[in-house]
Each structure stands twice: as structure tokens, then as C-alpha cells.
Amino acid sequence: MSQAPSSGNVQSNLHETRFFPPSAEFSKQAHIKSIAEYEALHARSIAQPEAFWAEKAADCFWFKKWDKVLEWNSPDAKWFVGGKTNLCHNAVDRQVEEGHGDLVALLWEGEPMPDGRPEVRRLTYKDLQRETSKCANMLKSLGVKKGDVVTIYMPMVPELAIALLSCARIGAVHSVIFGGFSAQAIKDRVEDGQSKIVITADGGWRRGKVVALKDAVDEALKAGSEAANLVTSVVVVNRCNTNPPMVAGRDQAWDALMAKASDVCPCEQLDSEDLAFVLYTSGSTGKPKGIMHAVGGYMVHTAMTAKLSFDLKPGDVYWCTADIGWITGHSYMIYGVLPNKVTSIMYEGAPDAPAQDRFWDIIERHRVTKFYTAPTAIRTFMKWGRELVDKHDLSSLRVLGTVGEPINPEAWIWYNEVVGHGRCPIVDTWWQTETGGHMLTPLPGATTTTPGSCTRPMLGIDMAVVDETGREVPVNEGGILVCRKPWPSMLRGVFGNRERFIETYWSKVPGMYTAGDGARKDENGNFWIMGRIDDIIIVAGHNIGTMEVESGLVSHPAVAEAAVVGYPHDVKGNALAAFCILRRAIPTGAEGEALKKEILGHVRKELGPTSVPDKIFFTEALPKTRSGKIMRRLLKDVVVGKAVGQDVSTLDDRGILDKLAVAVQG
């Protein structure tokens, strides 16, 4: 029912006329100070990529310099060939060696203690060097060697960051599983990666309750399974004092092992192309793909992009609210951020515990300067109301970032005004697990932003919107988003599945990386993501990006959040159905009908008649994955009345399907 957009007939009527240049005061102190400077640097980086990336690689730590910047046999890239380095050395040890050992590297804030006091731990770069050395020795004592896959299934506690960096220290390959995933996810990933070691915790705190984790590991490793035969050691951090049963000969306490471990463990000299980690994409369909990243290229790209996108300076207090179980946490809480000599905040709990102003309280108390979150969180904050934000002094903030999905212009404006007080550039960063780091983003001191657009390509990145033959489509026409040139942090493959790697990323447009997203580029050279290609729907011959219709709906003052899906229609081929969460209680009867009409009229005015949904439903909630992405597949099934007996294992709130059924009937 949906297909890749063909060029030429894509409907795109969302026209944004609000522009926000960075202030002169911000630009003056920024790494990149003007759009002219960006354009010159970008043009050079595309014309002479190897010279450009060599320069950026020289900002990182190397035991031995590379012999060759790039070896490119499409689709296989090797970066900084012959170079020897280490991600942990670049993130941690280097800072100690350069005299920044006493700077706080990780500032961890847990859920509040029972007496309401915040629980905070500060680890300096020196502390991190010591702890990762001990943990690395602990892993060695369990038989872990370079190249072995270590599975990590943990809550957001400092030991999680330590575990990642310790793997990096000895060249073990980590495979982090988000703590919200089930036993099945652990089993599948342990087996896919042939992993012998699991690091976990008894549980984590969320809204005052223990979320048990060790139980899920035990379930995943139940006798008889392949996973059970593979795993020889499970290391258990004690976070919640729940004393879970320990399997003799297999399970050991983190504290006891760490107490025995020596704190001397120099970083292993790894080849630039050695595998750094595997991270499984959450993928709404099919078996998750183990995305592989290599040490050197990932290091160079993430360190550079963290510096440029957030304009990081030594001493910044930077907070990324993602979980380390996602790529955002890997790249922009740990590996890209720490090389910039900043304090990275790590938060354990929920945004509404103990109260809905939790985030603003943390920003105020720790004087956060750079803040990075997701549109879904911003829309939730909008719904909770600006009074909660206004109660706090957020004057320390300098840059606001967003990632994960297109941000609706209304949410962008709210973020800018209410959180940033109009003085913090907003960086809407587009990228993917597969790209490792930012690909399209404003640079805060250089780019004039416009709500809803992730603006321009990062330095060194050659993004384009093309048709199936690889030709660029005209301005403002939708097409396939591609990257035309290799980049250092590109995925090196799908773990154990060469065909899937080729088929998913390299078979749609000859010679180019296809991201799976639809996009358009406007007359100013700004990119607009239209959503996953699968979410572009052909209505009466027009390709409609559901994201744009959602933005149209959210720009009505009554609508807090919206999701749009297509469903089969006799006349039009497909029609659109909209699900809206309101900012107020759901009106019923004639009042409800009148509001629906008004909202649809508003969309007609904003986007034109072809984009107006045929059906509109009010709902209390939307089905979301645990990383906050709307599961449109489920909504589509609800609209067509398909019995919902399907796999909803990645769904955050399983009761949601009943609520939706009510919304559709009501």
C-alpha cells in the first residue's frame, strides 16, 4: 500500500516562514561562526574528503597514525587504515594525561532517595580511568578477550557507562540491550552475538518502584536454550538491594569482583577497523539487525559532531536524556562527548518522578549548558504546561538539541520560547543507529534554523534527495534520502548477515547509502524529513508524508500530539486516518464533532485538500515503542479493525490497544 515515493508528484505544502538566525553574541564565541564559514568548510570537505577527515582524525588520540585515510569498495569502507587507537583512551585517559583528571566526567543523578533527597554521584575523568581499568581487569579475569561480545543489560547507573568503556579498553565488543526489553530480546541477542558474558543489575528504580532486570536474564538463560549453553558468567550490579537468586558457578556480584581487580590496565592498541560494538535496531518489523561500528571511524565522527553540533567547550555541563541502550546514548552521552572534556549528565529515572518538573529541576541544580532530548518528550512537556518550566531558572542553557523523529513546528516553537527563552539555538539532528553520528543538523553558531527542518549536512557528509536512479529531485519535491559518499562512522555491516546489509542499505539507489527515510530539500537548501519511506502514503495519486500532516494537526491549538496512517480506500487508493491527543479533556457528542471539523478545516487551510484525513479520532494515548517512536503499524490495524493478536513486544504500554479501540468506536 505504501511504496518509495516516485519523483515528480509529491505533495508538500507545509510552508514554514519563520526563521531564526543565531545571535551575534552566540556566533562570536562558536566553533563555526557563520553560514559562509560552514559553506566553505562543507564544500571543501566534499571536494577533498580525505584531507578533511585526516584533519579531524588528528584531533583524536592515536597510538599509531593511519597509513591511509580511506579504502572504499562500495559498500565496504575502511577508515584510517593501519591506525591504532582506543575509544576509551580517547574518551577518558587522554583527558587525565592532559591535566583534566579532576574534572567531573559523569554526573549521575538517580531517582530521589526515599527521604526525597536527590541521589548524585560524580565521577571525575581520573575516577573513570580507575573504574574502567578495574572493570577491564574483571572482564579479563572472566576470560573475556579482544573481539568477544559482552552483553550489557542494565539500568541507567554509572556502572553501565563503566561497563561500556571497559569493553572498549580491552577491545571487547559490547552489545547493549535497553533495560526495558524482555527476556526474549536478551536471548535473541546473546545467541546472535554468541556472547559468553552478561553484565546486568538486580534492577533499576523508576517512579519509586524497582524494575527487575536479573529475572529477565535468568529467564533468557533458562536451561536448554542455546543462550544458556553459551553464557558462562553473569555479573550482577546491586542497585536496589533485592538480592535476586544467584546461579552457582555462573553469577557473581559486581562489587566482589571489582574489589579484587587491579586498577592498572592500559588501553589495548586496537586497529582502527576493529569492531567496537554491535547495537540492535529496534525495527518495527522483522528480526532486529545487529548494526556494527568500527573503532577509529566511529571515534572521529562522534567526537567531531558532538563538538560542532552542540558547540561543546571544555567544562560544559551537557545533558542527553536518552538511555544508553540506544545509539544516542552511546554516541552523545559517552563516546563523542567525553573527548570534548565536558561533564556528561546521566539520569536514571522518569521525567515525571517525583514531579513533572524533574528535568527543569535537574537543569537548574546542575547548571546544564547543553540539553539534548526527543520531540516526544517535548510534546509531553507541552501537555504538562509551561508553569512547570517557568518555576525554574534555566538561564544556564546555551544550546537545545532534538533527535529521533521530526519535531513538529509547534513543539519546536515551544521548546525555543519556553525552555530556551528565545536565546538558545535549536539543533534538530537527523541521524540513525546505522550512521553512528549526526548527518543533518544546524550548527548552532552558523545556521539560521526554521522549525521542523534539520537544515543542512554535517561537514564531510554528502546528503541528497534523489529518485531511484540516483538523480537529485527538484527543489521541494519529495524523494529518497541518501548519503552519496562514505563517512567514518558508517555501519560496517549487519552482524552475521551480509545480505541484509546489502539489501537494506545499498540496493535501492545504485552506489548510495539509503537511509529508508523520505525527504525534500527546499529553496534554501534545508532538508525536511518526511518520515520513513514506509510511512509515505499515496492518496489519490499524491505522495503524502504522514509527518507533515501530523505537523499540520499539531499546529491547531487544541491538539497536543497526532499520528497519521493510511488505510485502503475504494476511490482514492488510500486515505488518511488521524489520531489526536488533545490538550484538554476529550469532548463528546456535538461538541466533539464540531472540534473534529474545525481541526480538519485547519489542516485543509495549512496543507491543502489532499492532505486532509478522512477519519479523525481523539485518543488519550498513542502506541509507542520504548524509544518513543509511534507504532503506526498498530494504528493502521486499529483503523481497519484487524484483530490485534500480533507481536507488541516493543510496545511501551500494552493497555493502549483497548483505549484505541474505544477511540475508533466512540
- Which CB, 85 or 433, lies closer to ligand PRX? 433
Q: Is 429 in the site for ligand PRX (CB under 6 A)?
A: yes
Among 192, 477, 517, 548, binds ligand PRX (CB under 6 A): 517
Contact of 119 with 109, CB cutoff 8 Å: yes
Q: Is 187 in the site for ligand PRX (CB under 6 A)?
A: no
- Minimum separation from the CB atom of position 348 to ligand PRX (A): 20
Site string for ligand PRX, 371-410 (x = CB under 6 A): --------------------------------xxxx----
Among 80, 431, 579, 617, binds ligand PRX (CB under 6 A): 431
CA 564 to chain centre: 22
Hey, what's the cell of 585?
Answer: 479533556
- Minimum separation from the CB atom of position 292 to ligand PRX (A): 14
**Residue 73 in 3-state DSSP?**
strand
- Which CB, 101 or 516, lies closer to ligand PRX? 516
Q: Is 515 in the site for ligand PRX (CB under 6 A)?
A: yes
Among 137, 151, 433, 526, binds ligand PRX (CB under 6 A): 433
Among 127, 188, 251, 428, binds ligand PRX (CB under 6 A): 428
Among 430, 487, 501, 513, binds ligand PRX (CB under 6 A): 430
In whole angstroms, give the CA distance from residue 371 to residue 310.
9
- What own/partner pairs with CB < 8 Å and gap ≥ 24 does 364-367 have? 364/392, 364/393, 364/394, 364/396, 365/118, 366/107, 366/109, 366/317, 366/319, 367/317, 367/396
Count of residues touching ligand PRX (by CB under 6 A): 19
- Which CB, 477 or 517, lies closer to ligand PRX? 517
- Minimum separation from the CB atom of position 320 to ligand PRX (A): 11
Among 32, 213, 267, 529, binds ligand PRX (CB under 6 A): 529
- Minimum separation from the CB atom of position 68 to ligand PRX (A): 29
The residue type found at 268 is E
Q: What is the DSSP string of 271-331?
A: ETTSEEEEEE---SSSSPPEEEEEHHHHHHHHHHHHHHHTT--TT-EEEE-S-TTSHHHII
- Which CB, 281 or 380, lies closer to ligand PRX? 281
> Which helix (H) or strand (E) segment is 637 a member of?
helix 632-639
What Å distances lie between residue 570 and 2, 539, 643, CA to CA? 15, 11, 21
- Minimum separation from the CB atom of position 407 to ligand PRX (A): 7
Longest dimension (CA), the chain: 73
Contact of 116 with 83, CB cutoff 8 Å: no
Site string for ligand PRX, 57-96 (x = CB under 6 A): ----------------------------------------
- Minimum separation from the CB atom of position 115 to ligand PRX (A): 36
List the one residue out of 224, 223, 163 whose CA is nearest residue 197.
Answer: 163
- Minimum separation from the CB atom of position 336 to ligand PRX (A): 12
The residue type found at 63 is F
**Residue 320 in 3-state DSSP?**
strand
- Minimum separation from the CB atom of position 479 to ligand PRX (A): 15
Stretch that binds ligand PRX, among 81-89, 169-177, 425-433, 577-585 (CB under 6 A): 425-433
Q: Is 236 in the site for ligand PRX (CB under 6 A)?
A: no
- Which CB, 356 or 408, lies closer to ligand PRX? 408
Beta-bridge partners for 353: none
Q: CB 50: neighbour CB atoms within 10 A?
A: 12
- Minimum separation from the CB atom of position 453 to ligand PRX (A): 9
**Residue 292 in 3-state DSSP?**
strand
- Which CB, 203 or 406, lies closer to ligand PRX? 406
- Which CB, 348 or 434, lies closer to ligand PRX? 434
Contact of 491 with 292, CB cutoff 8 Å: yes
- Which CB, 516 or 587, lies closer to ligand PRX? 516
- Minimum separation from the CB atom of position 435 to ligand PRX (A): 8
- Minimum separation from the CB atom of position 120 to ligand PRX (A): 27
Cβ-in-10-Å burial (0-12, 13-18, 19+) of 82 comes to middle
- Minimum separation from the CB atom of position 429 to ligand PRX (A): 5
In 306-377 the beta strands, taken as DSSP E runs, fall at 317-320, 343-347, 370-373
Q: Is 432 in the site for ligand PRX (CB under 6 A)?
A: yes
Query: Which position has the grid cell 544467584?
Result: 246
CA 454 to chain centre: 14
Length of the chain (residues):
666
- Which CB, 251 or 323, lies closer to ligand PRX? 323
Stretch that binds ligand PRX, among 9-17, 127-135, 234-242, 424-432 (CB under 6 A): 424-432
- Which CB, 75 or 404, lies closer to ligand PRX? 404
Among 85, 133, 305, 328, binds ligand PRX (CB under 6 A): 328
Residue nearest to ligand PRX (CB): 433
Q: Is 294 in the site for ligand PRX (CB under 6 A)?
A: no
Judged by CB under 6 A, the chain residues 531 through 550 that form the site for ligand PRX are 532
In whole angstroms, give the CA distance from residue 439 to residue 97.
31
Which value, to the nearest 10 degrees, does the dihedral of the CA atoms of residues 448, 454, 455, 461 take?
130
Q: Is 452 in the site for ligand PRX (CB under 6 A)?
A: no
Which stretches of 310-440 are DSSP H helices?
327-329, 358-366, 375-384, 387-390, 409-414
- Which CB, 233 or 435, lies closer to ligand PRX? 435
Q: What residues contact 110, with CB distance under 8 A and at least 6 apart?
A: 118, 119, 120, 121, 157, 205, 348, 349
Among 281, 343, 376, 546, binds ligand PRX (CB under 6 A): 281
Ramachandran bin of 455, using left for φ above 0, alpha for ψ from -120 to 50, beta for the remaining angles:
left
Beta-bridge partners for 210: 205
Q: Is 335 in the site for ligand PRX (CB under 6 A)?
A: no
The residue type found at 105 is A
- Minimum separation from the CB atom of position 332 to ligand PRX (A): 9
In whole angstroms, give the CA distance from residue 132 to residue 166.
5
Contact of 144 with 172, CB cutoff 8 Å: yes
Q: Is 327 in the site for ligand PRX (CB under 6 A)?
A: yes
Residue numbers at the binding site for ligand PRX (CB under 6 A): 281, 327-328, 403-406, 428-433, 454, 515-517, 529, 532
